[in-house]
Amino acid sequence: MMQESGIETKSNGSAIQNGASSGSHLLECSLREVRSNGETPSVEIGAADLAHLQQQQQVVVVKKSLQLKTRQNQRRKK
């Protein structure tokens, strides 16, 4: 039996994504839910989703460190 890609909502209100590799979307849904009802959602995340999320976080860290170095270099030139 094939499983459809999309978002499935559990009875407790947490969103899980089936068949898609968008870990950040899954995280955003979870964070939105935590903010709205104050509960910690029960979310299942696969290894591929976790790896993708970690890669995205690494990219953000590298971008921020490059921005910081650029600002420091600009200040030194003044």
What does the block give as tokens for 1? 């039996």
pLDDT for the residue numbered 41: 62
- Residue (of 78, 23, 12) closest to 48 by Cα position: 23
What's the pTM? 0.43
Q: What Cα–Cα distance (Å) separates residue 21 from each residue in 7, 17, 72?
A: 12, 8, 37
Mean pLDDT of the chain: 70
What percentage of the chain carries pLDDT values higher than 90?
A: 35
Q: Can you give the pLDDT at residue 1?
A: 42
The 10s digit of each residue's pLDDT in 36-55 is 666 666 678 889 999 999 99
